[in-house]
Chains A and B, each alone.
Chain A
């Protein structure tokens, strides 16, 4: 059905936007590299494809006058999701252009900012592209050539946004969100277990941030508690035998 397709596509766009933001944040820092630029480019292209697809689908759905009121409300909600994603994407693209220009890769006198981030962003990009491993095959002056393309793409995106506003008459403020405050907490139980085995108490933030590994801590306390109970039970049993015996 149109709605579900739309939703999946929007989810994908959302994911790519989030990953793109993570990648742009790494620009100019010590985790910047050739690979990062390539990842940015690929993610960007993917985002654009998704954007175009989303746009055609949604415009078609919204232009259809025969949809019921509920459906229309739903489509408008999806439309707001879409435009918000596009806005974020546009801003991030502009910023990546600016940062890319400010921090060229090959100039030896231009040093990256020592932010403390040294790891690569491969996994993030892989998540964005929905692949297992990223393949890097760009040439060495990607930072300069890519920027021109980037400029063109930014103008493209800008035009697309303006077109969209013209064609579709949706009042964004009239849309009611389905999620209430704090909705993000609900489905996060599955999120918190990615690094269970690692005990990481961050010394940087002694008081309120035992939660750098907060979600990990939860699991660990459960496990520890369980072990403790097991040990106590065994001790009790043995003691019983000792006393009994």
Chain B
């Protein structure tokens, strides 16, 4: 007994197969003795089998009947063959129509690919067993494989299958010879369509099954008309675009993506679906070292393309790391994670994101305008999946308008572009194709892939996304930086403060809304005290442990500064909504040196070459780090301390920081 969850009340329909009913009508028309396709008898050695048709006849008939060109008639004919309504006699594995004298025959209606009769594996097993009998055990390779796998998982039915195969074989023998030949051809053609041998392109790839039969005529009840009315009303209200604009967009899209569409341009080295050679997939894997040229070209099309390709995103992340503005991308990714993540973790995630990115003095504070920040913080009281949407959009547009352009001109990108590989096209012979088909193996199980991804993510989290954005003076003492550094002592404070220009804070509005801050800090209250205690001990924390500290601890402590130092902080150094292209007033020297040591300070494991002081003048972050670094001054930071880990705010004793 086959287990059937849905008792088959005709509930399984294949969505793209609406055309089947229409094809059946075509087939019936072709049978007309007067106006249909002319058939001839086929002469074999002894027997004559009637009703064979030539490809040419079919194509001509289709062209005449539907007044179409020969090419279109050819493709229509190929469709008929691919669905299995007509089968080729001579080259039975290639389901195409050849508009010459090659012979075809009509398939019997039982074997038509009807909408509601799914192809059963039991039948296939019986067919294979029958074929086994007839060929005396010499099945083809793919048939043998299928036979073995069916035998394995249908083992409980195997007696039945053997019995039924034998009986059907004997019953088949009862018919006359010509009919037997025809029957064998029919059955074989049916299974070529529904269980295609390797190398045959099947038309029966139909996707998920639906619960509704697309072929039934819908009853025109009042509900049906009501739906039509609603639909038309909504269509009237829809905003309209001028056709010149929309068509122009379509044309532009087509031109841009023409070469990247595997249906229109052959993909290099070869289309893995067609040739069974997996080089193409290997070259385009997620974490590949050198991407292909086509892939890199796609990144230049739009920012969305760059972000949606994981390799592109990684490249962009690297670029931002060098520019010290990685928090934008990190925030964007965190928002995506929130949007698509599980509902159970949503609250926690929102909280963490707030602490890491949005709170005043957060370690990776992002710069969004006051209005958005106000709205976001307010709605964070009742977090839901899309609570950060506005902020995310803002950051996305920021990255797109600002960093993306620079990325495309950056050495990082140019280097990737130069190194991108351009594989040569494969040219496989038929035997090679068959060999490829035989070598097909399933890829890694998705469970393993997911495990690997999670390991990767954990590794990235522990190694720290080490770009520091907010070394503002009032964030200086803070334990939230403890991840990358030890907790700080207060001395740097007075040094830092006077140097900072007091700019109006974009978050000034939100400073008033401390209640929301307070709420988030409930958990961190205890940690606050702990942080203060540990400040003294902080020096002792080694650089290694800093790096090893988990993100969680960072975030827990991260909110502390907001309450502790809120009163102390003047307006935030972050320029209010301005595009922050204002150059810090202090000399370049002070700007350059501390960032580098900061960079080394945080990027303990990464070696930043001195020339990579890409410190874009117009980056917002520069303000903050510039401000902070100004505050910290060049004291104690010299070029020679590239390798040491120094707390920039502990400017007095270099070795202390290293301890």
Interface of A with B (CB < 8 Å)? 11, 14-15, 17-19, 21-22, 24-31, 77, 80-81, 83-85, 87-88, 91, 95, 98-99, 102-103, 110-119, 121, 123-124, 126-128, 165, 170, 172-185, 187-188, 191, 194-195, 198-205, 208, 211-212, 214-215
Contacts and interface: CB of A to CB of B under 8 A. Distances in A.
B160 A95 contact: no
Interface of B: 1-2, 27-28, 31-33, 36, 39, 42, 44-47, 49-52, 89-90, 92, 103, 105-111, 114, 117, 120, 122, 129-130, 132-137, 140, 147-148, 151, 155-160, 162-186
Given A85-B164, A115-B107, A182 B132 contact: yes
Contact of B92 (A180, A194, A205): A205
A91 B10 CA distance: 12
A204 B185 contact: yes
Given A15-B171, A177-B157, A200-B45, A118 B162 contact: no
Nearest to A31: B179
Residue picked from B135, B181, B186, most chain A C-beta under 10 Å: B181
Given A114-B39, A115-B182, A124 B1 contact: no
A214 B135 contact: yes
A199 B39 contact: no
A5 to B, nearest CB: 17
Given A184-B133, A212-B181, A29 B109 contact: yes
Q: Which 10 pairs from chain A and chain B are nearest by CB?
A: A28-B109, A18-B167, A177-B158, A114-B51, A123-B174, A111-B31, A84-B160, A83-B1, A116-B51, A18-B168
Given A111-B28, A194-B173, 9 more contacts: A14-B164, A24-B110, A31-B179, A115-B182, A127-B174, A187-B166, A198-B177, A204-B42, A204-B185
A27 B109 CA distance: 7
A199 B46 contact: yes
B60 to A, nearest CB: 17
A29 to B, nearest CB: 5
A103 B89 CA distance: 25
Contact of A81 (B45, B163, B182): B163
A14 B172 contact: no
A99 B109 contact: yes
A28 B178 CA distance: 18
Given A124-B175, A204-B44, A88 B158 contact: no
A188 B109 contact: no
A25 B1 contact: no
A124 B182 CA distance: 16
A123 B173 CA distance: 9
A95 B110 contact: yes
Contacts of A182: 132, 137
B176 A119 contact: yes
Contacts of A123: 174-175
B159 A116 contact: no
A113 B108 CA distance: 7
Nearest to B163: A14
A80 B156 contact: yes
Contacts of A194: 173
A80 B160 contact: yes
Given A28-B110, A29-B109, A85-B164, A115 B186 contact: yes
B362 to A, nearest CB: 57
Nearest to A109: B32
B31 A114 contact: yes
Given A14-B164, A119-B176, A184-B162, A22 B171 contact: yes
11 contacts: A22-B168, A22-B175, A102-B109, A112-B31, A116-B42, A116-B106, A123-B174, A184-B133, A204-B89, A205-B92, A212-B180
Contacts of B51: 30, 114-116
Contact of B106 (A84, A88, A114, A180): A114
A195 B177 contact: yes
B132 A95 contact: no
Contacts of A103: 109
A80 B157 contact: yes
Contacts of A205: 89, 92, 185
Given A84-B122, A198-B177, A184 B166 contact: yes
Contacts of B169: 188, 191
A172 B1 contact: yes
Nearest to A170: B1
Contacts of B186: 25, 115
B110 A18 contact: no
Nearest to A22: B171
A184 B44 contact: no
A174 B1 CA distance: 11
Contacts of A15: 167, 171
A67 B468 CA distance: 78
Contacts of A27: 108-110
A201 B181 contact: no
Contacts of B46: 198-200
A182 B211 CA distance: 38
Contacts of A185: 132-133, 136-137
A170 B178 CA distance: 44
A175 B159 CA distance: 10
B166 A188 contact: yes
A223 to B, nearest CB: 18
A19 to B, nearest CB: 5
Nearest to A177: B158
A118 B180 CA distance: 11
B159 A177 contact: yes
A183 B45 contact: no
A240 B289 CA distance: 83
Given A111-B28, A116-B51, A84 B1 contact: yes
A26 B180 CA distance: 12
Given A80-B1, A119-B178, A198-B177, A25 B108 contact: yes
A231 to B, nearest CB: 25
A201 B177 CA distance: 11
Given A95-B117, A204-B185, A117 B108 contact: yes
Nearest to A168: B1
Contacts of A179: 158-159, 162
A15 B160 CA distance: 11
Contacts of B168: 18, 21-22
A198 to B, nearest CB: 6
Contacts of A77: 159
A22 B111 CA distance: 12
Contacts of B90: 204
User: Most A CB atoms within 10 A — which of B103, B107, B168?
Assistant: B168
B105 A116 contact: yes
Contact of A181 (B47, B148, B175): B148
B173 A116 contact: no
Nearest to A102: B109
Contact of B156 (A95, A116, A124, A174): A174
Contacts of A87: 1-2, 122
Given A110-B28, A113-B27, A181 B151 contact: yes
B134 A211 contact: yes
